[in-house]
Structure 1
Amino acid sequence: MEREVKEKIEDQPRSRFQWFLYVIFIPLLFAIVIALIVAQFAGVNVFEKAKDLSGKLPFISSKVEKTSGKSLKEYEDKIIDLQAEIENKDTELTQLQSKIDSQDNEKQQMLLEQKRLEDEIDELKQIQNQNKKAFQEIVQTYESMSPKSAAPIILSMTDPEALKILSNLKSDVLAKIMEKMPADRAAKYTEMLSAKTND
């Protein structure tokens, strides 16, 4: 008999739990699921409504405000920090770009200067070639002249000019022109020519 009473006492909580589970909890759960499906088809956002309702309850709304206020402040601070960082990076980029632009300008100026110098060198070479041709023509003119006519003209020149022409004349023409010069001047030019050849 005691056993039967104990079994009844032990079965009683189980049967109450099972009754609660089958009669209240499962139908309630089923009703909630059906309500969510109907609300979804009706276009109502249940979770948004639940959030609004929880905001109206005094003890829940204060906690939500504290946490959301704190997180909003943190997010705002973080956004401000990130914007400042972006501005710093933009400033660095602008500085680097201006540096690159100035280096490009400097490079362009150096290339232009190089081109100008190359053109100037070419021009000077052309002038030099023209001067050489002109000088060769002068030398040929003296070589084609009679020694009697060439000697007085050379004697009237300055020593460097005379030496330049005499050093470029053919040796047989040079000898004939030197014969037509006074002995002291011929000796002077000979000495200057030999000194120039030794250099």
Structure 2
Amino acid sequence: MEKTLKKHKEEKETSFLQRFIFWFFIPLLFAVFLGLLIASVNGVNVFEKAKEISEKIPIITDIKEGKENEKVVEYEDKIISLDAEIQDKNAQINQLKSQLDNKDLEKERLVVEQERLEQTIEELRQIQTENKRAFKEIVSTFESMTPKKAAPIILEMKEEEAIKILSNLNTASLAKVLEKMPPEKAATYSDLLAANTN
């Protein structure tokens, strides 16, 4: 008996659901469809009308405005944070540009300094070459002089200069010049020349 009651109760529930669908839901859908069809044929945009009506309902308008206000505040916060980030990045870029400009100026200064030093080195090399040539000419002049004339001149020079010239004379000329010097001076120069070669 319980089974039949349960079965009967289930049939009643399904029959109520079926009745609801057949008597209320399907006719409602049909009416909505017909209403949309008639409105479209008459040139009425149903969705715009629905929007206008929803804007007139206070609760929906408040909810919509509240969401929009929240979004606006959220977007403004994002804009402010992004503006701050952009300003930070711009400051970093300006700082890096300044550092780069300073590095470029320093590099240019160093290149100019290097060129100046290279020019000075070249000038000093030329002077050194000229001095060597002039010194060789002096040595060759002393070699071409007679030992009798060369010895007194060397004796009048400072000791450093005399040793420098004597050390560059060829062996034969040196021997002849030392012969024409007083023995004590010749011995002194000989000792200095020996010390200079060692």
Query: Could you say whether these structures have the same fold, taking a TM-score greater than 0.5 normalized by the shorter chain as the test?
Result: yes
Structure 2 residue aligned with 1:157: 157
Structure 2 residue aligned with 1:191: 191
Structure 1 residue 18: deviation in Å?
2.6
CA distance in 2: counterparts of 1:70 and 1:10, whole angstroms: 46
Whether the 8 Å CA contact 1:36–1:46 is kept in 2: the answer is no
CA distance in 2: counterparts of 1:91 and 1:105, whole angstroms: 21
Query: 1:25 aligned to 29, 47, 52, which one?
Result: 29
CA distance in 2: counterparts of 1:140 and 1:86, whole angstroms: 79
CA distance in 1: counterparts of 2:118 and 2:38, whole angstroms: 91
Instruction: Choose 138-147 or 15-24, whichever is displaced more.
Output: 15-24
Q: TM-score under structure 2 normalisation?
A: 0.80
Residue identity (%) = 46
Structure 2 residue aligned with 1:78: 78
Instruction: Choose 89-98 or 167-176, whichever is displaced more.
Output: 89-98
Q: TM-score under structure 1 normalisation?
A: 0.80
* Deviant stretches of 4+, over 3 Å: 6-17, 19-24, 33-39, 44-47, 49-53
Structure 1 residue aligned with 2:5: none
- Aligned residue runs from structure 1 range 45-56, under 5 A: 46=47, 50-56=50-56
Secondary structure at 1:181's aligned position in 2? coil
The number of equivalent residue pairs is 189
Instruction: Choose 178-187 or 106-115, whichever is displaced more.
Output: 106-115
Distance verdict in 2 for CA 1:118–1:10, change over 3 Å: closer
Structure 1 residue 172: deviation in Å?
0.6
Whether the 8 Å CA contact 1:163–1:192 is kept in 2: the answer is yes
RMSD over aligned CA atoms reads 3.0
Unaligned runs of 5+ in 2: 1-8
